[in-house]
Chains A and B, each alone.
Chain A
Amino acid sequence: MQKQAKFAIGIVVIVVSLACLAWMGYGESKTYYHTIVELQTLDSAARSHRIRVGGTVEPGSIRRYSDRVDFVLEGEGKKLPVSYIGGDPLPDTFADKAQALVEGRSTSEGRFVAEHVQAKCASKYEAAPGGTGGPAAKSSQPSTM
């Protein structure tokens, strides 16, 4: 019986301590997804979280400065000015009309300060139906069956 108790203690210690670490890591890094519209209706408590917002990069809005990159995200007819201050260079897919996911904090002046930017161009691996493939791709059909 005693040796089984030893194993049980060992297992519990490991699992509990790792669970604590997981909880700490969760508190540190939890990020809320919001749409641009939702962002404007949040109360101040919700605003203080780390937030992730998705949208489309407004064409011609990208401005590169030495310490930051400014651009405007559009979504559901609303616009959100964003300043990217992260250390990594922006991905190649980040361009006008790309779908971008920015992660960071919202400031009281309505500007979003992003630390991470992910971008996906509209035709990332797959031609969007009816998009780059043109009308021909849209009406494609299986050649057999």
Chain B
Amino acid sequence: MDLFGSFALVLAFVYAVYAFVGGIAAILARHPLLVKSTRQAGIASCCLIFLATFSLEYLFFSDNFSIAYVVSHSNRDLSTFYKIAALWSGQEGSLLFWSFLLAIYVFSVLTYRNKNGELMPYVGVVMAGVQIFFLTLNNFVASPFKALATPAANGALEYVARADGNGLTPLLQYPEMVIHPPNLYSGYTGFTIPFAFALGALLARYPGEKWIHLTRKWTMIAWMFQSCGIMLGAHWAYAVLGWGGYWGWDPVENASLLPWLTGTAFLHSVMMQEKRGMMKVWNVWLVFCTFLLCILGTFLTRSGVVSSVHAFAQSSIGSWFVGFIAIILLVCFGAYFWNRDYLKSENQLDAIVSRESSFLFNNLLLLVSCIAVLSGTLFPVFSEWITGDRISVGAPFFNKVNIPTGLLLLFLTGVGPLLAWRKTSTESLKRNFGWPLGTGLFAGVVAFALGFRELFSLICLILRIFVASTIGLEFYRGAKVIRARSGASFVASTVDLTMRNTRRYGGYIVHVGMVFVFIGLSGAAFNRDTQKEMQLGQTMQIGPYTLQLQGFDTKPEKNYTAERMIVEVLRDNKSLMMLYPEKRKFATTDQNGTMVAIYSTLKEDLYVVFAGYATSGDARLSEPTRKMDLVWRRIRVLAGAQQPAAASPLAQALTPHRHASGRPSLRPPLSRKHRASDENLRT
């Protein structure tokens, strides 16, 4: 099976090279048959990558411990889910997984009903180029199909098989391991497609704005996965000790945020191009940068350039990525330079209080934030080059820049969508913002009177209520109009309203999701921490909760042994529940894993950690209560919100244009997929 897998990869590489070279030839020669054959080569290459990936999975499931990668990342007793996840738990496999996800995207683009005949060959060439890079890594640099062998007396190599594998690293044995990397990687790889469309359109000087719709659609899909991936990662880091909390400004976490920021900027500024034909150069470069940042993120995770708790082991693979980034930059600059007249703006900014300017400032803030995060992440590298001292910056740097930026962005989230294009009159400002602003400020005053004194949290509270009310008001007004006409119930009217203009109202729902994220983040100001050594029967107090240590036990499981603390949680002398923070001892790796016990309420979290035994022999318990749990609970909101927003343009694309103004009669198959992924989140 390993032979099968590596042959499939080699063949996939050959096909991808053909799709690339043949594609260029087809564009130059304008030969329809050649165009067709390169497209089919692209499809074949994708299918071969699927086969290679499945064969690696097969090796995991058949416990084939003659393969180095299987030995390092699996063992017999590993549960089924983690055997699936073992595929992306190491360098080689996760690179294959990159190719796999990219192949899914490329496959769907190539087999999608072909309406952009002139553009598609260019897009195909760009996609094939990216695939060649990753297939090179899969085949020649980090092959996941290496077999274990040992030199025999006569110098020939003999295969050896081991009885059992080394097992999966305990830190990775957590349910999120099964869904977080696929989501995040789908985000990273997904940004390849908008890149291919943007670069393709620029190279082809493709007339019209059709390509910008396509780019936006694919960006939306990648963006959704990226958002879910980041959120799931934050939850994982929160619930399992050792990752440094839900967000620690770790280089690898930052790397995932960077393309998200530029992607978000693009999703907003693209509307300027669609509606007013402005910011074309800017948009193209946003797409280019987003893709570059994806590759940079992958590079940071794998090269060991910056130290991170999440990074893979150091390897020499970094130079390949540096080379690839250099090539992309060259191609992008070249394509832009030769075709820059194609991107002439059709309009100019009219007034400072307008939709355009709100987008402009939104982009500015997202970009500033992105640059700050990027420079902070790479600071050690650059400072070493320039001064010789390796200097790193920590959380205070990132927080100082990003908290005000975030609050300004939250403000724009409320204001932007309600401003008119070109210029907004004072009356409409009053009408749209009078009530929400009043409500927000009122809530701020009430909170201040109640003893709420954290400056940023207070500003955040006012802004959140302001944004939520502007959105609420929008839904209310729209639904009222529909109800007056149809007589349906208010809820039904709201649903109807959303389905009629999924783009607009879907966008609002995403904004609501962001409001919830801000609620969670600002809760960090209220964290409280206590640590105490505890003996049997002793209690400790934190906030309104009393914790009593009721006992210890040991729970042998298939793959590990768990030592648990049995802690009773009391509030007002009433028993609420039992919590079982545990320490897991993994037999195969002789490593520990600490499982945090979390008691979540809508208002706050009780976060109990079994920190270990003090040298004197007592168990030590520490439990910060953390309000930030709200962050992860809102994952669902954000994911759910994406659904209508992402479904809408696809619905338009899948159904003929006669439906353009009305609601799509056909539910696009993709929206069902979104729902499925949403369902996965719930389980």
Contact = CB atoms under 8 A, between A and B. Distances in A.
Interface of A: 3-4, 6-7, 10-11, 14-15, 17-18, 21-22, 24-26, 28-33, 52, 54, 63-66, 87-93, 95, 101, 103, 118, 120-121, 123-128, 132-133, 135-137, 139-145
Interface string B57-84: 0000000000010011000000000000
B452 interface: no
B150 A144 contact: no
B396 A25 contact: yes
B313 A126 contact: yes
26 contacts: A3-B351, A6-B352, A7-B352, A18-B401, A24-B400, A28-B396, A29-B396, A30-B393, A65-B615, A66-B620, A88-B245, A89-B241, A91-B241, A92-B170, A93-B171, A103-B394, A118-B309, A121-B591, A123-B169, A125-B169, A126-B312, A136-B148, A136-B150, A140-B68, A144-B2, A144-B145
Contacts of A142: 6, 143, 145-147
Nearest to B590: A95
B395 A29 contact: yes
Interface string B132-176: 000000000001011111110000010110100010011110000
Most interface-central of A7, A10, A22, A90 (chain B CB within 10 A) = A22
A7 to B, nearest CB: 7
B242 interface: yes
B396 to A, nearest CB: 4
Contact of B89 (A26, A64, A125, A128): A125
Interface stretch (B360-368, B461-469, B636-644): B360-368
Interface stretch (B320-328, B384-392, B478-486): B384-392
A33 B242 contact: no
Interface stretch (B217-225, B518-526, B572-580, B606-614): B606-614
Contact of B72 (A30, A52, A127, A139): A127
Contacts of A93: 171, 242, 591
A22 B372 CA distance: 8
| Most B C-beta atoms less than 10 A away, residue of A26, A135, A145 | A26
Most chain A beta-carbon neighbours within 10 Å: one of B145, B159, B395, B401? B401
A125 B594 CA distance: 17
A92 B581 CA distance: 14
Given A31-B394, A144-B7, A133 B72 contact: yes
A133 B10 CA distance: 27
B549 to A, nearest CB: 15
Given A25-B400, A125-B91, A128-B313, 9 more contacts: A7-B352, A28-B400, A33-B389, A63-B615, A66-B614, A66-B620, A91-B309, A101-B307, A140-B149
Nearest to B315: A126
Contacts of B357: 7
Contact of A118 (B7, B171, B307, B365): B307
Contacts of A90: 611-612
A130 to B, nearest CB: 12
Contact of A144 (B10, B389, B398): B10
Given A31-B393, A139-B157, A14 B593 contact: no
A31 B391 contact: yes
Contact of B401 (A22, A121, A145): A22
B541 interface: no
A141 B151 CA distance: 10
B591 to A, nearest CB: 6
B355 to A, nearest CB: 14
A6 B380 CA distance: 37
Contacts of B145: 142-144
A141 B157 contact: yes
B90 interface: yes
Contacts of B389: 32-33
A11 B364 contact: yes
Contacts of B364: 11, 14-15
Nearest to A33: B390
B7 A29 contact: no
Interface string B406-418: 0010000000000
A30 B392 contact: yes
B324 to A, nearest CB: 22
B393 A29 contact: yes
Given A18-B401, A128-B313, A3 B349 contact: yes
A83 to B, nearest CB: 14
Contacts of B395: 29
B156 to A, nearest CB: 11
A10 B357 CA distance: 10
A141 B149 contact: yes
Contacts of A10: 352, 361
A26 B610 CA distance: 34
Contacts of B408: 14
Nearest to A138: B150
Interface in B507-546: 529, 531, 533
A66 B68 CA distance: 43
Contacts of A124: 169, 313
**Nearest 8 A-B pairs (CB), nearest first?**
A25-B400, A25-B397, A126-B313, A33-B390, A29-B394, A91-B242, A143-B147, A89-B611
